[in-house]
Copies of this chain bind each other. A is one copy, B any other.
Amino acid sequence: MNPLENPWQTNSTREIYNNPWIRVREDQVIRPDGRPGIYGVVEFKNWAIGIVPVSGDGDTYLVGQYRYTLKDYSWEIPEGGGAIGIAPLESAQRELLEETGIQAGHWTYLGEVHTSNSVTDEIGFLFLAQQLRLGESTPEETERLEVKRMPLAEAVQHALSGEISDSLSVIGLLRAWHFLHRDAGVEMVMRNYPE
């Protein structure tokens, strides 16, 4: 897969908005067709970190929370923001512990995701967590979470049907499933873990 040159030209940029989580900017650009235009970009100040914990007997743990943006309740894998510059694995270990109380003895990197690349620069990193030790969760103060244990196969069905719709959750569950069931018709070759 060959990268090509950037066909966009940026002539100027201005900051529109800045809060602890995002920065919005508007660029004056020359588009690929040679015409002037604008591009509004939403920059994320954290990486998105998602974890699929899988127990020895094949269960996973989902986290339920109300999503303010969608005005709807959402069942998801344990996930949250990881500071850019801190190793994603370290953030994954902290996030899993905070949201579920789980610590894991074995971690597998499940690759990268760009959640919404027409407008945002958000990057997600996914992990499979195994050899689980259960403990007490300590969610962040803005979070009100439920935790539910279910067979991974059942969660995968929800991810396929769209009943689980959060992109990081769908991708994490399906990548974990294929990693754990290499007979499912496709071979999984992981890329290098980002340092």
Distance of A174 Cα from B126 Cα, bound (Å):
16
CA distance A17 to B37 in the complex (A): 16
Q: A137 on the interface (CB 8 Å rule)? A: no
Q: Which residue of B lies closest to A184 (CB)?
A: B184
**Does the CB pair A8–B72 fall under 8 Å?**
no
Q: Quick check: is A136 within 8 A (CB to CB) of the other chain?
A: no
Number of interface residues of A (CB under 8 A): 86
Q: Please state if B35 and A24 are interface contacts (CB–CB under 8 Å).
A: no
A21 in complex: contacting residue of B1, B6, B40, B110, CB < 8 Å: B40
Partner-binding segment picked from A88-96, A97-105, A141-149: A141-149
Q: Report if A162-B3 is in contact (Cβ < 8 Å); known contacts: A8-B68, A69-B121, A117-B74.
A: no
How many chain copies does the complex carry?
Answer: 2
Are the C-beta atoms of B185 and A181 separated by less than 8 Å? yes
User: Would you call A185 and B17 a contact (CB within 8 A)?
Assistant: no
A-B contact pairs, 21 of them (CB 8 A): A4-B146, A6-B71, A16-B16, A16-B24, A17-B17, A19-B40, A21-B40, A21-B118, A24-B42, A33-B141, A41-B68, A41-B69, A67-B114, A70-B114, A70-B117, A111-B162, A113-B170, A116-B122, A156-B186, A157-B186, A167-B168
